[in-house]
Amino acid sequence: MGLDHTHFSNFDGCPGPTETSTYSTPRNLIALGRAAMQYPVFRSIVDQQSYHLAATPRHHAYLWHTTNMLLRSFPGHVRDQDRIHQRGGVLPPVRARGNGHVLIGVVLHSSRTNDTAAFSDATKILDWGFRHV
């Protein structure tokens, strides 16, 4: 995919507590997000606010809720990925539609101590973008 400045050490792309070999750039993360959103099944999964897995004889029922505050609070937000890197305030690529435009942004190193700072920063970036398109 030409992501020359990206390396993920594990399947979810999130660094572990002592992980230092996971890295990327905003350009590479946006390219990855654009590529992933080309798949309808991926888009349908990441647009869900919750998912219920019915019980079977092999397991009980499960219910998962998104932790992505943008999906609940930002009009037109389209989620590419749901996980926030707790260490370093990294929010994976975010997309939003409005006024006939689609904006994509990346928030890196927002706050190491405030888990909601990346969402606040993403909202500011998207708001600014829609005012200037």
- Tens digit of each residue's pLDDT (9 = 90 or more) over 21-72: 778 888 888 888 888 888 889 878 877 888 899 999 999 999 988 776 776 6
Answer whether residue 91 shows pLDDT above 90: no
Query: Percentage of the chain surpassing pLDDT 90?
Result: 12
Q: Which domains does the chain show, CATH number per domain?
A: 26-131 (3.40.710.10)
Q: Angle CA(40)–CA(116)–CA(29) in degrees, nearest 5?
A: 40
How far is residue 112's CA from residue 118's CA, in Å, rounded to a whole number? Answer: 10
Residue 97: band (very low, low, confident or very high) from pLDDT cuts 50, 70, 90: confident
pTM: 0.65
pLDDT of residue 87: 41
Asked whether 57 and 28 are in contact (CB, 8 A), the reply is no
Number of residues written out for the chain? 133
